Structures are given as C-alpha cells and as structure tokens.
Structure 1
Amino acid sequence: MATSEATQAPTIAQLNDEFRQGDHSLGRVVTTQGVNGLSSEDQQELFRLLRTFDDFTPDNDPYGEHDCAGFEFKGERYLFKIDYYAPDLEYGSEDPDNTAVTTRVLTLMHSSEY
C-alpha cells in the first residue's frame, strides 16, 4: 500500500463503518439472489449482523479499510464487500475517502455467490 493510501485507510474505514451501520446517504446496498431468497425475518437478522460486525483482522482486512469480510448465519457463510464508485456509478472513485466524489456500493451475498 502506498503512503497516501495508508493515510487514507482510517478515514475510509470510518466511512465504511458508518455506511455499513446504516448511514445510507453514503451509498447503495444491494443483495444477491441468495439473500433475497431468505425469509423477511432472516434478512432482517442478516442485516443486523452486518450492521454490528466488528471482527476485522489482518486476515480479512489487510488494508484496514473495513471493506470486506464474512460471518456465519444459521450455519451458512455470508460475505459483504464495499466498492467505491464515482457518483454516476460509471467508473471507480479516484478518491474513496472523499464523499463528494464517491458513492459506496455494499453487496451482501451468500459465500457461494462470490
């Protein structure tokens, strides 16, 4: 990781945490068919687990951005990942720690869909 990327990581992690925990003004949340196929109650619990997830380690968060990890739910593995796009969602963001030029997209999926 370049020095500028290393200094951005804490800000990016904070923004990703805020977004994942419910500040959807920072982006969009999408789910895959594996999540969409769950009951409403199970989806609600899955999102609760997503919002409260805090088990980031060097193995699942090597760049310190809190942008991707997995967790267990009812004996199954689920993953989330956050990607950074320009506001028009056409291209990747060149500055993911700048909310004026970045729209976050969080994808929640069953591990088999990765």
Structure 2
Amino acid sequence: MTAGTLSRTEKIVRLNDRARQAMGLAGVAVATEGFRALPEADRSRVRELIETFDAFVPDNDP
C-alpha cells in the first residue's frame, strides 16, 4: 500500500509509530520535571521501552 492509498487512520498509526520509535528526531519529545529528575540510566531505559513497545491491543491503543 502506498502513502497515497493509506486510510487516515493508517497514516496516523504510521506517524505515531515513527514519532515513538525516533523520539526527538521524528517529533518533539516533551518530558515532565519528574522524568527529567530521574537518573540518566533510568531515563534511557524508559525511552528504550517506549521506542520498542509493540504490544498494542484495543485496551491500550486509542
């Protein structure tokens, strides 16, 4: 399926995936003060978990 034939929903899904998988590169990453206060190793691990998450189901995929 080419970009021209994607549904609006599929375009949004692809953009969301790209932004999640390339935080700060494919979009603007915003972090709370509490997140920024975590040690760098913890912030890095959280970002890694977010970027690699792919277990989407109706209950966690609005």
Q: Which runs of 4+ in 1 moved over 6 A?
A: none
Unaligned runs of 5+ in 2: 1-6
Cα distance change on mapping 1:58 and 1:15 into 2, 3 Å: same
Tell me which of the two structures has the higher relative contact order, counting C-alpha pairs closer than 8 angstroms and 6 or more residues apart: 1
Displacement of 1:24: 4.1
Tell me the matched-pair count: 56
Unaligned runs of 5+ in 1: 1-6, 63-114
CA distance in 2, matches of 1:40, 1:22: 18
> Aligned ranges for residues 26-105 of structure 1 at < 5 Å?
26-62=26-62
CA distance in 1, matches of 2:9, 2:34: 30
Displacement of 1:27: 2.1
**Cross-structure match for 1:19:** 19
> Aligned ranges for residues 2-17 of structure 1 at < 5 Å?
7-17=7-17
